[in-house]
Amino acid sequence: MATCLITGGAGNLASQLSWSLAGRYDRVVLFDVAPAPVAAIAPGAVFERGDLLDRAGLDSLFVRHRPAAVIHLASLLSGSCEDDRERGWAVNMDGTFALFEAALRGGAPMVVLASSVAAYGGTLPETLREDTPQWPDGLYGVTKMAAERLGVYYHRRHGLDFRCLRLPITVSRFAPAGAASALASHAFIEAVQRGQYTFCVRPDIRLALIYVRDVLQAFLGLLAAPSTGLGRRVYSVAGVAATLGEVADAIRRRLPEAKLRFDPDPAASALLASWPGRIDDSAARRDWGWQPGFDLERMADDFLQVLRVETGANAR
Ligand SMILES: NC(=O)c1ccc[n+]([C@@H]2O[C@H](COP(=O)([O-])OP(=O)(O)OC[C@H]3O[C@@H](n4cnc5c(N)ncnc54)[C@H](O)[C@@H]3O)[C@@H](O)[C@H]2O)c1
């Protein structure tokens, strides 16, 4: 019976991944220090509460479930890492090290890590490539970059089938409130829920984005890829490269009554303008057939539909 273990199992992506993985694995186990998943998980998926930093607990988890694949999502995100550097380092670095060690001891052949474009930093070229030098600006990015390297080490020296997706800003209804990276998500959400949204950045800023459904597809694609076809272990993926003005227009075309305004703040604009506008994901396309299903138009259609259904359901 093949089991897929997801760390960070109570989080945003894990809840959604449990549904995508349900038909492909006999059992999906979600593991998290938090008490309960943010959203419904697939029927049959098992939730196990525990801390990545508890080595004995982690070993026991691997002994009980013998996962054929581990998807490592547990992490403190960028704001939390800066707010609590001690915990950020402990979870993202010590926790990731503990996970690789537990995978080796527990005989789990494959670990797939969720990394982020935050693993880059400084002045970036127009199009970000996998071999663009990685000098992250924040602690989160530092830990993501180091976790990528650690995974490659376990692959080369210990034969672990390590794979990694480097994700851009994800457009999702669970985007963290207040995070600059969540701006595009919140424009959609607030346009539906409140009929208005004010972008605090310039409309000409171009951002590389990915719709959450494509993130789920990317995990499925990378999990299923034959190891022999992988020319590298860390792959960038992207779906949409749009200016925020184009995002606003896509919303306006579908919700003409929504009031979308731009009131740019120089500091917020400078921050977003420093993020990648385009990502070269040709290696993923070549090596394992990655093909995003959602461009800006398809993403706008689908996301607004999801939000309308949810808002209608909440209003009833
Ligand atoms: N969502 C995005 O936009 C995005 C973009 C790039 C990368 N990622 C990466 O994808 C992964 C999942 O993202 P998400 O949006 O679901 O994040 P999330 O914050 O919703 O989930 C992370 C989970 O990790 C858990 N966790 C924290 N410390 C733990 C510990 N010590 N032991 C066990 N669990 C612990 C948290 O409780 C949380 O449920 C993260 O690694 C993130 O860095 C996400």
Q: Is the CB of 170 under 6 A from ligand 1?
A: yes
* Domain assignment present for 220: no
In this structure, which residue's CA is closest to atom 12 in ligand 1?
73
The pLDDT tens digits along the chain (316 residues) read 699 999 999 999 999 999 999 989 999 999 999 998 889 999 999 999 999 999 999 999 999 999 999 999 999 999 999 999 999 999 999 999 999 999 999 999 999 999 999 999 998 998 999 999 999 999 999 999 999 999 999 999 999 999 999 999 999 999 887 778 899 999 999 999 999 999 999 999 999 999 999 999 999 999 999 999 999 999 999 999 999 999 999 999 999 999 999 999 999 999 899 999 999 999 999 999 999 999 999 999 999 999 999 887 665 5
Q: Is the CB of 96 under 6 A from ligand 1?
A: no
Final residue of a structural domain among 116, 134, 167: 167
Whether 98 and 145 map to the same domain: the answer is: yes
Whether 142 and 262 map to the same domain: the answer is: no
* Domain assignment present for 71: yes
Domain residues for the domain of 119 are 3-167
Q: Which of 5, 6, 7, 12 to mutate to test the pocket of ligand 1 (most atoms within 8 A of CB)?
A: 12
Distance in Å, CA 140 to ligand 1 centroid: 11
* Domain assignment present for 229: no
Q: Is the CB of 36 under 6 A from ligand 1?
A: no
CA atoms within 13 A on the CB side of 284: 28
Q: Using CA of residue 148, residue 35, residue 105, residue 65, what is the dihedral sign?
A: negative
In this structure, which residue's CA is closest to atom 18 in ligand 1?
11
Residues labelled as active-site residues: 140
Q: Is the CB of 218 under 6 A from ligand 1?
A: no
Number of folded domains in the chain?
A: 2
Q: Is the CB of 75 under 6 A from ligand 1?
A: yes
* Domain assignment present for 120: yes
Q: Is the CB of 54 under 6 A from ligand 1?
A: no
For 56, 168, 171, the CA distances from 240, given in Å and listed in that order, are 42, 10, 10
pLDDT at 247: 98
In this structure, which residue's CA is closest to atom 4 in ligand 1?
170
Give the predicted TM-score (pTM) of the model: 0.96
SS (H, E, C) the chain: CCEEEEECCCCHHHHHHHHHHHCCCCEEEEEECCCCCCCCCCCCCEEEECCCCCHHHHHHHHHHHCCCEEEECCCCCHHHHHHCHHHHHHHHHHHHHHHHHHHHHHCCCEEEEEEEHHHCCCCCCCEECCCCCCCCCCHHHHHHHHHHHHHHHHHHHHCCEEEEEEECEEECCCCCCCCHHHHHHHHHHHHHHCCEEEECCCCCCEEEEEEHHHHHHHHHHHHHCCHHHCCCCEEECCCEEEEHHHHHHHHHHHCCCCEEEECCCHHHHHHHHCCCCEECCHHHHHHHCCCCCCCHHHHHHHHHHHHHHHHHHHHC
Whether 100 and 176 map to the same domain: the answer is: no
Question: 256 φ, ψ to 5°?
Answer: -60, -25
Distance in Å, CA 95 to ligand 1 centroid: 12
Residue 303, domain CATH: 3.90.25
